[in-house]
Amino acid sequence: MSKLSHIDSANRPTMVDVSEKSATLRLAHARACVELPDAVLAEVSGDEIATRKGPVFSTAIIAGVMAAKRTHELIPFCHPLGLTSCKIAIEVQDNLAVVDCRCKVEHKTGVEMEALTGASVAALTIYDMLKAVSHDIVIRDTRLIAKSGGKEDFSRDA
C-alpha cells in the first residue's frame, strides 16, 4: 500500500510540499448527476427550469464556479489555486441533470478537487432550488472523469 500524501513521517496530517515541482498545465473534469423525479422534470423548459428563486441551472453554474474558486477554503490541505478556467455545463438526459465541471490552471498541483467541488456545489444548488417541488431529488455518481498535466494522467469512460 502506498504512503498517503497528506501524512508526514510522524503520522500527522500535513499539506503536501509542492515547492520542488514544476508548474504545468493542469486540467480536470468532474461530473455529478442529479436524479430528477417526474414532478421536477415537468418543470423543465428547453435547457432550464424557472422557479421563484430564479433560473435553476444558470444559478447552479454560478454557484459551482464560485465554489471551485474557493476549494482551498473548504477542503483541508488543498493549495489555493488561481484557476485560469472553470466551465460548468448542465444537461438534462432522461431523468438526470448531468453536471460537468472542467477546470484549468498552470500550477504545481492538480485541479481535481476544484472540479469535484464545482460539480458538487452545482448539484447541491439544483437540489436547493428545487426542493420545494420535490424532496425525492437524489444527487449521485459524483466522480472524477479525467485529469491531466501532473505526474499521472487519468481518464475513465464518461
* Residues designated catalytic: 128
Nearby residues of 17 by Cβ (< 8 Å), 6 or more positions away: none
Torsional class of 61: left (φ above 0), alpha (ψ -120 to 50), beta (otherwise): alpha
Q: Which three cell numbers stand for residue 108?
A: 504545481
| Type and span of the H or E element at 29 | strand 24-35
Contacts from 54-57 at CB under 8 Å and sequence distance 24+? 54/129, 56/125, 56/126, 56/129, 56/130, 57/90, 57/97, 57/126
